[in-house]
Chain A
Amino acid sequence: MKPFLFLNLPNTEFNSSQVDCNHSMAHSSYPYGDPIFAYGPQAISHPQMIPPMLGLASTRVALPLDLAEDGPIYVNAKQYHGILRRRQSRAKLEAQNKLIKNRKPYLHESRHRHALNRVRGSGGRFLSTKQLAQSNAEFVTGAHSGSDPTNRYQKEHLSEVESHSSKDGDNSSFITTCSDRPCLSGNNVNFRQQECMFLGNSANMGGSPQFSGGLTFGGAKQRTSVVR
């Protein structure tokens, strides 16, 4: 067993828990390198921007070496047991194959297909109802009678589009990622009939679905634009 210095742990109960941690650590294996989350106390005025960093230099203890290839990683002594506990939890979930390895570009197939059918304007933004009416009016009165804006814009492969569906005081945003995978043939969803419920300012954390994408397809460079 590796001896560790307990600087701020006078309670002997922690010693027994530490022994238990080490004992169970010997039997668990980490096929994938877990990220080392070391939370240092940071006196900044905005607590939501908490950068993960190594702990205080005066009270650091060494984590086990099975994860760090370039030597021991020192963390805050207060967080040592918590980090080991979280490692075991993640290892257990990994063993049960309950963690999703790859993040999907979208969460719901029907919403993805609906987004593919929506009309897009210049720059790939979705057109709102007003803009669509203006666009239709322009195409009816214009000389370009042979071009179809829907078919033209659907052929474009865009990595990420973040736009507002309505500018009339609606702060909801719709985030989706168009992938290179061919769209499933079948339901042609008309976006006028099936309107998605977008998340407003007051977010329902309980059961509101969110679109999130992680992979970049076809080598296309990601273009992220934030519309306030």
Chain B
Amino acid sequence: MMDNVGGSSSNIAENSGIIREQDRLLPIANVGKIMKQILPPNAKISKESKETMQECVSEFISFVTSEASEKCRKERRKTVNGDDICWALGSLGFDDYAEPLRRYLQRYREQELDRANNPPKRG
């Protein structure tokens, strides 16, 4: 098998510029856990299914992020924030997902604000 990574050290891969598998894809265990949430308790998921879903969701993340990054590039901004992701989902036709994500983002920001206003006291 052609092994692009020399030896067993992951530092060599990082220095040679090869994008490692763990940098390009989501962890396969987490993908399997998310897939399992929707299935019955006794269902089994094959390795091939997890890898296919791993490729799909990783490509989808790059797809949406690329759309958001293009918007930031046109507006000469350097940071892609949550609003840009929600806008990108709507721009790509995923309106059914953009609206729940906006509500999630709003609730997330409220929690962050509460945490900032009430810092945990140091004993």
Whether the Cβ atoms of A79 and B92 lie closer than 8 Å is: yes
B window 1-58: CB within 8 A of A: 1-5, 7-8, 10, 17-22, 24-25, 27-30, 32, 34-38, 41, 43-48, 51, 54-57
**Distance in angstroms between the alpha carbons of A209 and B10 in the assembled complex:** 11
Whether the Cβ atoms of B93 and A79 lie closer than 8 Å is: yes
**Distance in angstroms between the alpha carbons of A107 and B17 in the assembled complex:** 17
Quick check: is B91 within 8 A (CB to CB) of the other chain? yes
Q: A101-B2, A210-B28 are in contact. Are A76 and B93 (CB under 8 A)?
A: yes
A78 shortest CB reach to chain B, Å = 4
By the criterion of a CB under 8 Å from any partner CB, how many residues of chain A are at the interface? 56
Main secondary structure of the interface of B (DSSP, over half): helix
Q: A108-B10, A224-B45 are in contact. Are A96 and B17 (CB under 8 A)?
A: yes
Query: Which A residues are CB-close (under 8 A) to B44?
Result: 224-226
Query: Which B residues are CB-close (under 8 A) to A83?
Result: 63
Query: Which A residues are CB-close (under 8 A) to B67?
Result: 82
Whether the Cβ atoms of B27 and A203 lie closer than 8 Å is: yes
Query: Which B residues are CB-close (under 8 A) to A98?
Result: 17-19
Query: Which A residues are CB-close (under 8 A) to B94?
Result: 39, 41
Taking residues whose C-beta sits less than 8 angstroms from the other chain, chain B's interface range is 35 or more
B91 shortest CB reach to chain A, Å = 6
**Distance in angstroms between the alpha carbons of A11 and B44 in the assembled complex:** 48
Whether the Cβ atoms of A100 and B38 lie closer than 8 Å is: no
Quick check: is A169 within 8 A (CB to CB) of the other chain? no
**Distance in angstroms between the alpha carbons of A96 and B32 in the assembled complex:** 31
Quick check: is B62 within 8 A (CB to CB) of the other chain? yes
B83 shortest CB reach to chain A, Å = 18
Quick check: is B95 within 8 A (CB to CB) of the other chain? yes
Q: Which of A85, A103, A173 sits near B29, CB closer than 8 Å?
A: A173
B18 to chain A: closest residue by CB: A98
A104 to chain B: closest residue by CB: B21
Q: Which of A49, A79, A160 sits near B38, CB closer than 8 Å?
A: A49
A57 shortest CB reach to chain B, Å = 13
A window 77-115: CB within 8 A of B: 78-79, 82-83, 85-86, 89, 93, 96-104, 107-110
B17 shortest CB reach to chain A, Å = 6
Query: Which B residues are CB-close (under 8 A) to A110?
Result: 8
Query: Which B residues are CB-close (under 8 A) to A6?
Result: none
Whether the Cβ atoms of A41 and B34 lie closer than 8 Å is: no
Q: Which of B4, B60, B92, B100 sits near A78, CB closer than 8 Å?
A: B92
Whether the Cβ atoms of B28 and A175 lie closer than 8 Å is: yes
Whether the Cβ atoms of B22 and A210 lie closer than 8 Å is: yes
Quick check: is B59 within 8 A (CB to CB) of the other chain? yes
Quick check: is B111 within 8 A (CB to CB) of the other chain? no
Q: A37-B59, A173-B29 are in contact. Are A102 and B38 (CB under 8 A)?
A: no
**Distance in angstroms between the alpha carbons of A197 and B32 in the assembled complex:** 19
Quick check: is A48 within 8 A (CB to CB) of the other chain? yes
Task: Give me the interface of B with A, judged by CB distance under 8 Å.
Answer: 1-5, 7-8, 10, 17-22, 24-25, 27-30, 32, 34-38, 41, 43-48, 51, 54-57, 59-60, 62-63, 66-67, 70, 91-97, 100
Pairs across A and B, CB under 8 Å, 8 listed:
A55-B93, A76-B93, A86-B59, A102-B1, A102-B2, A108-B10, A209-B22, A224-B45
